Chain A
């Protein structure tokens, strides 16, 4: 079985704020600035004899648990991480082994936001409220 290709986008507004330049414009590629391709990936399969590998390796920061059916179609994705929580996931239309995850990192103080106009500050606030509600809704399925 080929390993899954996993991309994760951090929806934290801090990436947008950093990409906003003086005139308040948005970095044309602002979403890709938040895109992370997990590196240093270790794949562990349920059938593996030695499942304890992730407990021994202290470098492991985030665990993505992917459940599939017999046709290797993804049925459930779970992210176990202290730094990120999962908002949603989907597989690519043409390749069900390409997995896209929308995750969010902890809200941080936005030092760069000080000079932004009120509408932009408001936009950030609204967006984060939306994300909080999103996060809260994932709590009941935990």
Chain B
């Protein structure tokens, strides 16, 4: 064992270690770039899967909740079909019939209070609003036609969504995903499993090389430091001397490993380049289906528009029913009041009769009093008239006229 021998081995060790460090650094960079790309590719696929799930749910929301339930069942079947075309129409007919019946009845009641001409109670009511509901009922066929049109449109839209959007477009999208972006697609299986494992293996391999060269270098450094016992130095020298001879072979293996890494990186990058090239077609398909989903917003706005139109018609019908109810109740009140009026007329006539009786009675009593008065005046004047001067009771002493005047009348009603 000589110092120059150790120095040569140590120099050699340093040279190989430096080379190894630079080779490993470069290869590790390659590997970590590849691993990052694989992870990014996985993230992309995961987000794509997520978006596809959401699109699938949005399609089924469009078909089932919005179209089938919201428009088909609630709007067309229930609100329009049943509530407007059946229930509301029935109610309007009912009230219209009632009004007509009432008018007929008023037409048949003679007004006995008018003597000069023949009139009926019907002559005294306004009929302007009595056909309001008939007019609304006349509009019904138009509304019915509209509902039929919109129902057809609804069926077409639903059919389109079910067959074209869900049956073809979404299905194709899913197929495209499965064949190119799915976990079971061959390239992705390779990237997720084989290549990921391989990258780790290559990393470990490089680490092992680095460790061997570092260990050897550390041993040399220890020898150089001269801190070992002579026997320890001797046995360690034997080891490093033997290892030193193996360095070129290990270095060759290292370069082979580095070439493996470079080949591996090339293969993975080429595969990822190819896979990423498939993104644009998928994204274009996504854009199309998203545009399709958005286009349906406009279609549904048409239904909303019709819905508002029919809602307005329904409200005007309800207003008509309300007014007709008021009109009908006015007619009923009018007839009732007319009959009460007849009793009122009767009551006044009776009162007038009573008044006439009282007055006639009174007149008879007054006449009797007056006749007695006149008689007594005549007897008085006969007995005393000759002795009394006229001026002693001016104007009255010879006055034989009645004390009262009575002028009355009771109106004939």
Top 3 A-B residue pairs of the complex, sorted by shortest distance between their CB atoms? A107-B57, A107-B54, A121-B70
Residue A129 is within 8 A (CB to CB) of chain B in the complex: yes
Partner of B293, one of A109, A124, A132: A132
Residue B43 is within 8 A (CB to CB) of chain A in the complex: yes
Q: Which residues of A contact B12 (CB under 8 A)?
A: none
Residue B40 is within 8 A (CB to CB) of chain A in the complex: yes
Chain A, range 60-92, C-beta contacts under 8 Å to B = 80, 82, 85
With contact pairs A110-B61, A128-B61 given, residues A122 and B54 touching in the complex (Cβ less than 8 Å): no
Residue B338 is within 8 A (CB to CB) of chain A in the complex: no
List the B residue with the shortest CB-CB distance to A128: B58
C-alpha gap A106/B57 in the complex (Å) = 9
The answer to whether A125 and B66 have CB atoms under 8 Å apart is yes
The answer to whether A132 and B48 have CB atoms under 8 Å apart is no
Q: Which residues of B contact A50 (CB under 8 A)?
A: none
Chain A, range 20-42, C-beta contacts under 8 Å to B = none
The answer to whether A125 and B300 have CB atoms under 8 Å apart is yes
With contact pairs A85-B47, A118-B71 given, residues A125 and B297 touching in the complex (Cβ less than 8 Å): yes
C-alpha gap A121/B44 in the complex (Å) = 31
The answer to whether B51 and A125 have CB atoms under 8 Å apart is no
Instruction: Bin the interface of chain A by size.
Output: 20 to 34
Q: Which residues of A contact B334 (CB under 8 A)?
A: none
C-alpha gap A3/B55 in the complex (Å) = 36
Q: Which residues of B contact A128 (CB under 8 A)?
A: 54, 58, 61
Residue A126 is within 8 A (CB to CB) of chain B in the complex: yes
Contact with A along B269-302 (1 / 0, CB 8 A): 0000000000000010011001001101100110
Q: What is the interface size of chain B, counting residues whose CB is below 8 A from a CB of the partner?
A: 36
List the B residue with the shortest CB-CB distance to A142: B44
B286 to chain A, nearest CB (A): 6
Residue A1 is within 8 A (CB to CB) of chain B in the complex: no
The answer to whether B294 and A118 have CB atoms under 8 Å apart is no
Interface centre among B46, B70, B286, B297 (most CB of A within 10 A): B70
The residues of A with any CB-CB pair to B shorter than 8 Å are 80, 82, 85, 106-110, 113-114, 116, 118-119, 121-122, 124-126, 128-129, 131-133, 135-136, 138-140, 142
The answer to whether B290 and A106 have CB atoms under 8 Å apart is no
With contact pairs A106-B53, A107-B54 given, residues A121 and B66 touching in the complex (Cβ less than 8 Å): yes
A94 to chain B, nearest CB (A): 33
User: Can you give 18 contacting A-B residue pairs, CB < 8 Å?
Assistant: A80-B43, A85-B50, A106-B53, A107-B53, A107-B57, A108-B57, A109-B61, A113-B65, A121-B65, A122-B297, A129-B58, A129-B297, A132-B54, A132-B55, A136-B51, A136-B283, A136-B290, A139-B283
C-alpha gap A108/B296 in the complex (Å) = 20
Partner of B50, one of A125, A133, A135: A135
Partner of A132, one of B47, B58, B66, B69: B58
The answer to whether A118 and B290 have CB atoms under 8 Å apart is no
Chain B, range 55-95, C-beta contacts under 8 Å to A = 55, 57-58, 60-62, 65-66, 69-71, 74-75
The answer to whether B57 and A109 have CB atoms under 8 Å apart is yes
C-alpha gap A128/B297 in the complex (Å) = 11
Q: Which residues of A contact B293 (CB under 8 A)?
A: 129, 132
Q: Which residues of B contact A107 (CB under 8 A)?
A: 53-54, 57-58, 61
